[in-house]
Chain A
């Protein structure tokens, strides 16, 4: 069981997906901040006293793409340390490379993973990140 202090920010423009991800994270013991756009996520980050423990990020987002969001995160000293897990329905080599270059921890292909597995991966990434911090 994960401690209640762990918060995952989920950035996903598909409301249905956002809903099921939030449900799953909740039953897995995480609290969530759900955002339907990268802009909204940036706004939240600016106003939060404390960084979320990790960010679940979609790649294709309206207005501001997942990539642009990563650029913002990586350029911000306060946010840079937040581990980001990209979960997208497209995982081309170039996209992956670019995201990793910007500091993304994982790049997962949406329909390939069960939520169970993604939660496990998030757990691992968080543990790994806490070790290195």
Chain B
């Protein structure tokens, strides 16, 4: 406080005193922010000299504090306001991003070649893309809110409606797993049908299935190509049988010496031709069987079958090979095994393949064990050997078409890589299951299960080995 600038030497030459307002009196109180920085002063001034009482000084200080408080508050408010603005800005940006990505997804969904149907957990349609309308002939408004399963009918190869329990979308939601189906037809609004490939996927949020997506496409062309492929293999294989028969029969006559006797070397050479030709015949047969299984046209003709007799027959047929390699074969069949309704021809193939493999891929003097037991409603067949085994790295490829494990290619040249593929296809088509365990250098055990209640028959057009 300066009571009289004329007296206080510090201010006598101050410009505000000597000119301008010509201040004589000044009293100020500092205004601080956060108790530290002085951001200004609240002051009173006059052109005449004054003196403030203690109360007046106190009041000035109080006023300054009040100002200080007010400034502090609005400052705070200002900062908060800034935050909210920023949040608002961020929200707008995020919203735009969401909108953009939503638009992107919508454009993708609309322009995707596949039909996409979204359903909620009650199976009601909650969205469809344009392709659904194009493929099925149903309009969006006709489908929204309706049950997918009851709106778009799924038809099997025989023209019957696929039961709800086998609909891919139902099973996807039920099992919480992706379900792919390639063998059915969707029925359009006008009643016509198209071959469809469906991928049904559950939508899971925090472990809860909240709906599902049914993605499908028209595979009429693919099925046609597939059919042509199967037909081609079938035709080509049948055609191959004519020259193969000629080679077989001519060499047979030569080896048998029916056209004059051959010397030992000649005989050996012709014998080689005969054996190679036999392999080719086997290969053609396998290819034909595969094309039959793959085409789904295979006849499944179950009849009450005595597994023991069936296995005995297979073993009898393989006896020469077993003896040649000096293997020990142990067959043990569950004592009270009832006759079960299976397709003996198909099942025979499975035993034949697994046993042939065991014989082939076990070094001389090996031990092969066949165990057939019953557990609940299942007949379990176990075929084990102490042979070369399947290396770990190859195990997942064992049932793949044309796959042969590296460790046996050099040892056993005779093999197509088709046997186990075919065997698995047969077991699968018979409602069974097949798996194995193996350790390289120790041996392999295959198991396969057939339902003891039997398998259901299936009308078809073709059978194996025909």
Contacts and interface: CB of A to CB of B under 8 A. Distances in A.
B435 to A, nearest CB: 31
Contacts of A24: 249, 253, 258
B299 A111 contact: no
Interface stretch (A32-40, A49-57, A84-92, A120-128): A84-92
Contacts of A110: 241-242, 245
Contacts of B252: 114-116
B241 to A, nearest CB: 4
Contacts of B239: 89
B256 interface: yes
B95 to A, nearest CB: 66
B248 interface: yes
A20 B249 contact: yes
Interface in B434-462: 461-462
B232 to A, nearest CB: 15
B256 A93 contact: no
Interface string B205-243: 000000000000000000000000000000000110111
Contacts of B253: 20, 23-24, 27, 115
A116 B248 CA distance: 11
A20 B246 contact: yes
B463 A92 contact: yes
A21 interface: yes
B459 to A, nearest CB: 11
Contacts of B241: 89-90, 110-111
B250 interface: yes
A21 B258 CA distance: 13
Contacts of A115: 249, 252-253
A34 to B, nearest CB: 15
B158 interface: no
Nearest to A16: B246
A16 B253 CA distance: 14
A110 B241 CA distance: 7
A114 B248 contact: yes
B244 interface: yes
A116 B255 CA distance: 12
Contacts of B256: 116
A92 to B, nearest CB: 5
B461 A17 contact: no
B281 interface: yes
B238 A90 contact: yes
A92 B462 contact: yes
Contact of A93 (B250, B258, B259, B462): B462
Nearest to B301: A93
A32 B2 CA distance: 149
Given A24-B258, A110-B241, A93 B466 contact: yes
A17 B299 contact: no
A17 B242 contact: yes
B169 interface: no
A109 interface: yes
7 contacts: A24-B258, A89-B238, A89-B242, A89-B245, A92-B463, A111-B245, A116-B256
